[in-house]
Amino acid sequence: MDVTGLTPLLALLVPLLGAAGVVLLRHRTPARELCGVVAGIIQLGLVATMVPAVGDGGTVSFTLSTFLPEAPIALRADALGVVLAGTAAALWVLTTFYAMGYLGTAPDPALTRFHACFSLTMAATIGVAFSANLLTMYLFYEALTVITYPLVTHTGTPEAARGGRRYLAYQLGCGIAFLLPAIVLTYIEAGTFDFVRGGILDANAGSALLVIVYVLYLLGIAKAALMPVHSWLPAAMVAPVPVSALLHAVAVVNVGVFCVLRVVLDVFGTDLVAELGLGFLTLVVASVTIVVASWYALRLDNLKGILAYSTIGQLSYMILGMALLSPGGRTGAVLHLVGHSFSKITLFFAVGSVYLASHRTLASELRGIGRQLPWTMGALAVGALSIIGLPPTVGFIAKYFLFVGAVEAGQWAVLVVLAVSTLLSAGYYLRVLRSALFDTPLAVTAGGSGDTTGLLRSPIVTEPGALVVGPMLITATVTLLLGVAPGLLLDLIRVSSG
């Protein structure tokens, strides 16, 4: 049942109020940080209240502005939007706690800017998740780009400035050059910006034009990191770990994949995508992205670099699942959006924990560190096994549905792509785990004042504080719980992707 209600608007306003609270309490810590925590909890509660309505296939709508009657700025929460919004809200709370442990709570203007932009990022994410039409989605999509730019350049170093420029160039450039024309052409052909399940475009519009529009969407939604518009993502890794976690697990990349799913389901519709052969085109692009990104990650030693290219490949898993145009593929795509968020943020948290404890950033430097950081490496193992797709993690369930979807669609080549990419993922993640858990620990020469023994000893490495370890263990636990008992989430996902 479709109803009109204030809940989508309130979910959008709460993070805006959180950002205002962060600024007003900028000299009072940790009250400043707790504004984000409280706002995140309230937002999660608001999203949860919409689950019964959208779980039956209904929507909750609210119109913000009708300055153009044919193109209102409007919100509409459906099952797919609730999945994205709920995932982002839950991880917002945990990432805020983690940032307090990683970045500290000093009354620093840079930290105030970080937490304020973090809250605004969540507002833009909710805006995209609950967009009722293409125009509303575009406005919040571009707002997300502008808001996250200060986060990418948070450290203020020349390297961060270069990474920020590339991030901005790709996001705004692709949005203006490709996404905006695609939306305009869609309106010209369909006469509406509204999202409608089954699509708003007519095959009679001309197959050549529709193929061009579809390609413009794929290139314009650069946040999904499909090749060749992917290189902004590794460049953005210059940011601190809490920012990288936000970009690659909570908001930005999820918004990119979400927008692609909206285009397939609610702009073109799966029937038209199949009729025009666009599903096969998307499968080819996604498959190439998966294999190339996984192969490149296998060659890297830098931990954040490995996670960056892993993210590129995993995002294309979701797009590939939707492009299969089968029930199993669609379920696997949306489930992987949720599962990857919790799994990948666990990995980012663990890499950040390792850095805080030992200042090590390379996989080759982790030899034996698992004996000194058992909680951190345990969480990293859970996240890695989920990305590989091994039980009992949520990654296994998501990949199971992707395999089922490929069989349903008769796309046997996709089975090969999934198998090869799984082996490559196992290659680079198990290499890290083997080194950390089973290799001989790194040693340092015992020297210094009056010491001439030249003996070798292990450096002292201990787990960081509870604000770092706690959120990491929670996300790792959720990664396991969703793998063991995904029933309620699957019910909502089947509604959202059906």
287-303 per-position pLDDT tens digit:
999 999 999 999 999 99
Confidence (pLDDT) at 450 = 40
Confidence (pLDDT) at 156 = 83
Q: Tokens representing 305?
A: 């670099």
Q: Say how many C-beta atoms besides its own lie within 10 A of residue 227's C-beta.
A: 15
Give the residue ranges of the chain where pLDDT is below 70. 1, 69, 205, 442-459, 498
- In angstroms and rounded to an integer, the radius of gyration of the C-alpha atoms of the chain is 22
Q: Say how many C-beta atoms besides its own lie within 10 A of residue 13's C-beta.
A: 16
Going from N- to C-terminal start, the domains of the chain cover 280-498
Q: Are 122 and 251 in contact (CB under 8 A)?
A: yes
How do residues 355-405 score in pLDDT, each as one tens digit? 999 888 898 888 888 888 999 999 999 999 999 999 999 999 999 999 999
Distances from the Cα of 153 to the Cαs of 165, 238, 239, in angstroms? 9, 8, 6
Distance, in Å, from the CA atom of 353 to the CA atom of 370, rounded to the nearest integer, reads 12
